[in-house]
Structure 1
Amino acid sequence: MSHTCEHTHDHDHDHTPDVVATRLQAAQVRVADAGERMTSSRLRTYELILEANAPIKAYDVIDRFHPDGAAKPPTVYRALSFLEQMGLIHRIESLNAFVACDTHDHSFPNGHTAAFLLCECCGQSEEIAIPSLPDVETRATQTGFLVNRVTLEVRGLCHACRETH
């Protein structure tokens, strides 16, 4: 996402090392509870997405994977697919980028519709959970279509950027 504004951005949703470590540990538990394995490549991919704290493209994950050089693309793409299936990350289609799922609300037993507020100024994204989109699901059902997931992207200006305009 291009950053088109010229003011400084003081956003308060940074992922500190403690937050990243806590999220990594929680992810390992979640994956184990699902009967799956959190391999080192899956863990490293998730760590890089958490550290980015903003939408990150797959090739940036590939470039940052190893201190001495890039990872093999198939390794990262398989990890991204797995992390998305586990509900740990979301893909923001319009940006062709990935972000960590920030919704930890377990009141949505069947998952949630991921809605992203995308700031056109600073490039930050914020996830908000929506239990469902009844009209979409109803119309899909009427056509015989089974909805697996919906991602909603909303563009505009975040609070910090609106304050400076």
Structure 2
Amino acid sequence: MGHLAGKKINLTKNQSLVMEVLSDSTSPVSAYSILEKLRDKGFRAPLQVYRALDKLVASGMAHRIESVNAFVACNRSDDDSDSMVGFIICIDCGHVKEISDNSIELGLDKIAEKESFTVKKQTLEMHGLCHNCETQNKSI
């Protein structure tokens, strides 16, 4: 079944296995890393992984992190599933946190409207240091 509460999505065996890898990971996972992790489960070709990822992303159960060409499981609830999703990405440890804030989306919408620009896709990724890495860097 689906990852988001309330979303009832029937997944194929391959989609379920890929979702399991994403859910178990603490950082973004590339399609080729997923393939390597699932070889013992019968995965042989990248196309198997990409097809599963396409379905998971389209259903909102997973996200593609554009800047690192990798994927993460969605961790939003149904309450904020309509709002824009963004990510904060630690450049040291690779940890990714999914963020959602309607005020960011509204601000971007106002900019687009002011510029008479029709937005087709929005991607928000912020790269920096998480609290743990920032603390470790200061102590060195």
> Which TM-score tier does this pair reach, normalised by the shorter chain?
0.7 to 0.9
Q: Does 1:27 align with 2:29?
A: no
Partner Cα separation in structure 2 for residue 50 and residue 65 of structure 1? 14
Conservation of the 8 A alpha-carbon contact between 1:50 and 1:100: yes
What is the TM-score when the length of structure 1 is the normalising length? 0.70
Q: How many residue pairs are counted as aligned between the two chains?
A: 134
Q: Which residue of 2 aligns with 1:119?
A: 90
Q: Where has structure 1 moved over 6 Å in runs of 4 or more?
A: none
Q: Which residue of 1 aligns with 2:65?
A: 92
Ranges in structure 2 where 5+ consecutive residues have no aligned partner? none
Conservation of the 8 A alpha-carbon contact between 1:31 and 1:86: no
- What code does the residue aligned with 2:123 have? T
Q: Does 1:128 align with 2:99?
A: yes
Among residues 40, 45, 61, which one is paired with 1:67 in the alignment? 40
Find the residue that maps to 1:121 and give its secondary structure: coil
Q: Which residue of 1 aligns with 2:136?
A: 164
Partner Cα separation in structure 1 for residue 83 and residue 71 of structure 2? 17
Q: Cα offset for 1:138? A: 3.5
- What code does the residue aligned with 1:134 have? L
- What code does the residue aligned with 1:83 have? L
Percent sequence identity over matched residues?
30
- What code does the residue aligned with 1:160 have? N
What is the TM-score when the length of structure 2 is the normalising length? 0.81
- What code does the residue aligned with 2:131 have? H
Partner Cα separation in structure 1 for residue 54 and residue 8 of structure 2? 14
Find the residue that maps to 2:39 and give its secondary structure: coil
Structure whose residues are more often helix by fraction: 2
Q: Does 1:46 align with 2:16?
A: no
Conservation of the 8 A alpha-carbon contact between 1:58 and 1:97: yes
Indicate the larger mover: 134-143 or 70-79: 134-143
- Write the deviation string for residues 102-139 of structure 1: whole angstroms up to 9, x where unpaired: 222x3336x22222111111111111112252243244
Partner Cα separation in structure 2 for residue 61 and residue 31 of structure 1? 24
